[in-house]
Copies of this chain bind each other. A is one copy, B any other.
């Protein structure tokens, strides 16, 4: 990058030293720069369209104003909602966010956290939820610990067992509440599209739902719990497999909205009338999906708020860390789960 104007140029044009120029521009603490000089410097800077080099500042100050955000897939509305919250909050603090999509690749999070560490990010936020690969989790934990040891602040969202502040979505309680609600609507025979086996978030939702069913004296048959990717197509395929077994079921719970919508498509393609022929419920309350028809019963998670909270948590100089914040979901009943005629 050639030709950029440096502080040196500004100082020369204003006829002052580098030190004075620097002080004039950032109004350095416990040091006053004469009004006249400050004026001169500011004017010179403006005339030259000077903008300080962020890396040089980072070197000298030994810190930056960037947030590193690692998530699975920005195209997934779940993650983009969280990202939106992070970015909104970041902006109010004058922070820039650099983002990485791990694409569900195990280990990628650790690599990216490493990159953020190399960049002296002030804050790193990882949102995910892998649970199976214990070794990978340990390496991530180690990397995050190193990052915090160097003065950074990390927050994990939906990613337990990490030695940093974490925000935990109460998946279990949300799914349980949903289960009870569906039971109250008269449903007794359930199936679950369970999502990926290795995703803790998915597992918790299944468990919570199972608890509710059990609590009401029912039982979730193992063959009615079908796994699959956390995507629209995953939901579609899982629903097809389920239908192939001709299950005796009146209501299917997909552990996220995206899958639920895929499941609805599969049902329709098989000629099932919705919502009369089958009730469908999801999880997350993705904004973009609120207008599917029939409108989806789901558990609302304040995703954007969670993103903002992550930033605030990281910036908050509280003691006794790591801290844990639980955020609850709220069942929203819509048209996709009508009351079952007795």
**A84 interface hit (Cβ, 8 Å):** yes
A59 CA to B58 CA, complexed, in Å: 10
A1 CA to B117 CA, complexed, in Å: 10
**A55 interface hit (Cβ, 8 Å):** yes
- Among A103, A119, A120, the one with the most B-chain Cβ atoms within 10 Å of its Cβ is A119
Q: Which residues of B contact A304 (CB under 8 A)?
A: 75
A73 CA to B77 CA, complexed, in Å: 12
A-B contact list, 23 entries, CB within 8 Å: A1-B62, A1-B150, A3-B150, A51-B114, A54-B115, A54-B119, A55-B58, A73-B84, A74-B74, A74-B80, A74-B83, A80-B80, A80-B83, A91-B103, A96-B98, A96-B100, A96-B119, A97-B98, A98-B99, A232-B287, A258-B288, A264-B291, A291-B292
Give this chain's copy count: 2
Q: Which residues of B contact A327 (CB under 8 A)?
A: none
A304 CA to B101 CA, complexed, in Å: 14
A58 CA to B80 CA, complexed, in Å: 30
- Beyond A1-B63, A2-B150, whether A118 also contacts B77 by CB under 8 A is no
**A12 interface hit (Cβ, 8 Å):** no
**A169 interface hit (Cβ, 8 Å):** no
**A93 interface hit (Cβ, 8 Å):** no
